[in-house]
Amino acid sequence: MLIKGGNANLTVTGVLKDIYALKKPFAVLYKKKNITRPFEDQTSLEFFSKKSDCSLFMFGSHNKKRPNNLIIGCMFDYHVLDMIELGIEKFVSLKEIKNSKCPEGTKPMLIFAGDMFDLSEEYRRLKSLLIDFFRGPTVPYVRLAGLEHVLHFTAMDGKIYMRSYKVLLKKSGCKIPRIELEDMGPSLDLVMRRTHLASDDLYKLSLKQPKALKPKKKKNISRDVFGTTYGRIHMKKQDLGKLQTRKMKGLRKRPAERMTGDGEGISPKKTKSA
């Protein structure tokens, strides 16, 4: 859910509208201004979370102390879990970049560059928030032509650079096409300000998956790296000496092959001579 603060200016409003355009139809945009301060009072965010049944939010505001302010966060059981405040230093909207856009509802590919996303706990939580916010619905299969949107996040020199590209598949003379990236917008230069992170115990509790959602393991079934399924069958040891095969007409012995108890053969019947 995308919420506009009480003193949102044109820059913040444009950012919320462009993010909503990327997230359609899996987002809710509240156009009315909401006078609230998430770091001081979180009741309004919890109310909107229950109303729209959303666990992720983005709140935009603007004031003299914190100009062009953007807060991204997530909920757990309709209570604020993590919340990170970002400042917008530079913004280029979708309309300013005169290139073709991706269709609505396109699932983006996310790329993160920079050591800070792995070294700092705050940047690690921010990366998790951005993945949850932009990854879209879970799908079992993706076709090659559907991979046409890239969101690139770079952490460098204390700033976060967000870039949006459209993937162009061009002829290469072979089966694999040549890939080119075309700037699509929006483009954001962000700086981290304040953070509100949940404790380690609460964070681990939020990651716990219910038993009903966990896939049940099937015994004696395994898969290799290529997705091939292998099954193992357990059978008791068979006594081949007691195997009944004489009932079949084709396996019966002919009279010439019958043997007596001492091993002497039984001579076949003599044909009467004419």
All structural domains of the chain:
2-195 (3.40.50.10480)
Contacts of 105 (CB under 8 A, 6+ apart): 24, 25, 26, 136
Tell me which residue of 60, 51, 87 sits closest to 195, measured CA to CA. Answer: 87
Confidence category of residue 41, pLDDT binned at 50, 70, 90: confident
**Looking at residue 261, what is its pLDDT?**
47
More confidently predicted of 61 and 250? 61
**Is the per-residue pLDDT at 245 higher than 80?**
no
Q: Over pLDDT 70: what percentage of the chain?
A: 87
**Looking at residue 126, what is its pLDDT?**
93
Confidence category of residue 190, pLDDT binned at 50, 70, 90: very high
Helix, strand or coil, per DSSP, at residue 197 = coil
More confidently predicted of 90 and 141? 90
Q: Which two tokens stand for residue 122?
A: 């705050």
> What ranges make up the beta strands (E) of the chain?
2-5, 29-34, 56-61, 69-76, 79-92, 109-113, 149-156, 159-170, 178-183, 187-196, 221-223, 229-231
- Longest CA–CA separation in the chain, Å: 130
Q: What is the mean pLDDT of the chain?
A: 84
Q: Which two tokens stand for residue 92?
A: 């280029």
Confidence category of residue 247, pLDDT binned at 50, 70, 90: low
Provide the residue type at 182 as one letter.
Answer: E
